[in-house]
A = this chain, B = another copy of it.
């Protein structure tokens, strides 16, 4: 077989990752990063992130650009160091279609995209789960996320049944059409701060485990929304702004909840897009049924 003929068809090393918004969760921290993670449930959205990787021998140090701006990006840098540290500096460029720091899994998307792109770029021979496990470890290490990567690697409405990295944690999906999801972002919440607040995490975890148990009795999108909304209040994470936005959507015949972790609200059904307009700039995307992959 002509290898040249095949290699001509290899695309540039560019990966795509959906955003991921968690509706409810409970954190599970272990010593080993690949056993750490969270259980819960969240939605992958078509507003995603593209990451391009290329060797850059001319550089002294790996360069990472986030939306065109040079960035320290410690989570993606961890992935680059782990996967390509012995191959000289690389250049990573991530373009986000999603907000940053508002619970859309942007850091996970950047790290996961970097893992896929570097794997392809350097022909590292990692499977999807193996590449994604490195991104998960980066997130857990920097406390930027606990469950985004395993969900983003799958796509759809993902239930995280047992915590851990892709290939270790256990997930399932709830069947769902690629329907429209609207959202409004009010401001960021620091994932790191919440995850480090022991008292707050106690309430979060109790509410999250309860919601998961309830969801598995009736795993549907409507029930996911209902339980997420309940978790928003029970966990103590809800802002006054978020509760008002959620109620406005409900009054318009839709369902809404807070994005975990961001001061942001997502909604579907009824006149939810219209109802959210009083609370900020409304963006509308769709559920992404596909997960991370090469672009």
Identify the A interface with B (CB < 8 A): 1-11, 15, 116, 119-120, 123, 125-131, 155-156, 159, 167, 172-179, 216-220, 222, 225-226, 229, 250, 252-255, 268-270, 289-291, 293-295
Question: Does B293 contact A253, Cβ atoms closer than 8 Å?
Answer: no
- The residue of chain B having its C-beta at the shortest distance from the C-beta of A170 within the complex is B167
- The residue of chain B having its C-beta at the shortest distance from the C-beta of A295 within the complex is B177
* Residues on B with beta carbons closer than 8 Å to the beta carbon of A294: 175-177
Question: Does B290 contact A255, Cβ atoms closer than 8 Å?
Answer: no
Provide a sorted-by-A list of 16 A–B residue pairs whose CB atoms are within 8 angstroms: A1-B225, A1-B226, A1-B255, A5-B269, A5-B270, A9-B269, A11-B179, A125-B217, A127-B172, A127-B219, A128-B174, A155-B290, A156-B293, A176-B293, A178-B293, A289-B291
- The residue of chain B having its C-beta at the shortest distance from the C-beta of A131 within the complex is B175
Question: Does A175 contact B15, Cβ atoms closer than 8 Å?
Answer: yes
- The residue of chain B having its C-beta at the shortest distance from the C-beta of A254 within the complex is B5
Question: Does B175 contact A4, Cβ atoms closer than 8 Å?
Answer: no
For the complex, give the distance between the alpha carbons of A129 and B293 in Å: 21
Question: Does B253 contact A2, Cβ atoms closer than 8 Å?
Answer: yes
For the complex, give the distance between the alpha carbons of A255 and B1 in Å: 7
Q: A2: which of B3, B128, B268, B270 is its contact (CB, 8 Å)?
A: B270
For the complex, give the distance between the alpha carbons of A175 and B294 in Å: 6
Question: Does A6 contact B293, Cβ atoms closer than 8 Å?
Answer: no
Counting from the closest, the 4 A-B pairs by CB-CB distance are: A5-B253, A290-B290, A128-B173, A5-B270
Known: A4-B253, A177-B295. 14 other contacts (CB 8 A): A1-B226, A1-B255, A2-B270, A6-B225, A6-B253, A6-B254, A6-B255, A7-B222, A128-B175, A129-B172, A155-B291, A156-B293, A167-B172, A177-B294
For the complex, give the distance between the alpha carbons of A138 and B130 in Å: 32
For the complex, give the distance between the alpha carbons of A69 and B173 in Å: 32
* Residues on B with beta carbons closer than 8 Å to the beta carbon of A159: 127
Q: A11: which of B129, B130, B177 is its contact (CB, 8 Å)?
A: B177
State how many angstroms separate the Cβ of A294 from the closest Cβ of chain B. Answer: 4
Q: A174: which of B127, B175, B269, B289 is its contact (CB, 8 Å)?
A: B127
* Residues on B with beta carbons closer than 8 Å to the beta carbon of A293: 156, 173, 175-178, 289
